[in-house]
Structure 1
Amino acid sequence: MDIIINILKGILDILISFTGDLGIAIVILTLVIKICLLPLSLKQKKSIEKQQQAPMEIEKIKAKYKNNSRELDKRLQEYSKESMKNLSGCLGMFIQLPIIYALFNVFSNLNISSGSILIPWVSSLGLHDNYFIVPIIYVLTMLAPNLISYIPYFNVKGKAALNKANMISTIFIGLMFTMKTPVALGLYFISSSLFSLIEEIGYRIYSKNKVAA
């Protein structure tokens, strides 16, 4: 883990010297990491999508072979094996965890005394946002990937909108993470969430066009 932390810290130092702004450097580093992890993230989305469709596919198999129990068992076993392969795609999430933890560690241990052009109302990125603008932006970016389900064009089959309980818990967690944490971490969270939003929109457009084709 220390190796990953040192690599990320070195890259961040280079970005700071290049941009002259810690906030911009944090955003760029976060986006670079997210882009590197994009193949795993997309594979995970495809696996989750197939798992969501599993009950429907099983019902189709049962309806098709309802009069042939032997063939039904065979088809269900085959589909079960295929589902297990799809489930392996979700393991990409666990591969991302060490990198995410390392990023969090790097930003948490920064010796910060300067502000950023991105957050002009805060004098130092080592302070928390007394105006709560950063926490509010972060909560909105967290909710956005699910809220786009309410837009008809992005309401892809199998993509459920965020229910009230999940919405409340998302707001609570988002505020808890950013209200009293350094703004530097808030920038990391917001950048990561915005990338996830763009990724989700892109994936839904891809899925919609794929179904239409």
Structure 2
Amino acid sequence: MTNIFSQLFNVIFNFTNDYGIAIIVFTILVKLALLPLNIKQKKSMKVQQKLSLEMNVLKEKYKDDQEKLNEEMVNLYKENPGSGIGFLLLFAQMPILIAMYKAFSNNIVNSPTIILPWINNLSKPDPYFLIPIIYIVSQALPSLLVTIGAIKNSTIPKFSITMLIPTCIIAILILTKSPAALGLYFIISNIISTVEQLMPVSE
């Protein structure tokens, strides 16, 4: 799969003649290919969330009758088959995303891009540390939008400082020392993921 993605990336790069634009186009194409899986995952997660609420109600209602509780829980799962498929779909995408990452990371070129005009060499870290900062903002964007009320989505948690700790660790330990091209890939992936999270999903 990595070889296929590498060939696709090289075709895009030869067409755009700009490594930054090639990363964006390549990431969008692969994400579009994964969109049906992501939609199924979102639907499953939504069902699972609803299921968890109903389970809590049952536990409270039958807290003194374990046998009845078990019976009702079994019936609940029967009425909602495939509610746990969301996690399976998430793991199913991992090999694709890994191959996608390898496809361009193995072909990082020593060149600038019009996408990041302050960087002269995408194969080296951002000398001004702007990419790690943009990455942190892009990672927190969905929660920030929910917090300020710009969007209403119950599945996206509101922003909190503790949520930024893992993101900041990645930004400091990895993106400050990694090629700028890798940071650009992470940022574009975050933006696309944000759009996917904001997409309404029918039951």
Is TM > 0.5 for Structure 1 vs Structure 2?
yes
Consecutive unaligned residues of structure 1, counting only runs of 5 or more, are: none
Output the CA distance in 2 between the equivalents of 1:108 and 1:62.
49
CA distance change for structure 1 residues 45 and 177 in 2, over 3 Å: closer, same or farther? Answer: farther
How many residue pairs end up in the alignment?
A: 203
CA distance change for structure 1 residues 157 and 27 in 2, over 3 Å: closer, same or farther? Answer: closer
The corresponding residue for 2:89 is 92
The corresponding residue for 2:8 is 11
TM (normalized to structure 2)? 0.86
Moved more, 81-90 or 27-36: 81-90
Consecutive unaligned residues of structure 2, counting only runs of 5 or more, are: none
Deviation at 1:83, TM superposition (A): 5.3
Per the alignment, in what secondary structure is the counterpart of residue 84 of structure 2?
helix
Deviation at 1:195, TM superposition (A): 0.3
Deviation at 1:17, TM superposition (A): 1.3
1:16-165 pair list within 5 angstroms:
16-61=13-58, 73-82=70-79, 85-152=82-149, 154-165=151-162
Q: Aligned AA for 1:199?
A: E
TM (normalized to structure 1)? 0.82
Output the CA distance in 1 between the equivalents of 2:79 and 2:87.
14
Residue 142 of structure 1 contacts residue 174 of structure 1 at CA under 8 Å; is this kept in 2?
no
CA distance change for structure 1 residues 157 and 110 in 2, over 3 Å: closer, same or farther? Answer: closer
CA distance change for structure 1 residues 173 and 83 in 2, over 3 Å: closer, same or farther? Answer: farther
Per the alignment, in what secondary structure is the counterpart of residue 119 of structure 1?
coil
Per the alignment, in what secondary structure is the counterpart of residue 152 of structure 1?
coil
CA distance change for structure 1 residues 90 and 75 in 2, over 3 Å: closer, same or farther? Answer: same
Write 1 or 2 for the structure with the bigger share of helix: 1
The share of aligned pairs that are identical, in percent, is 35
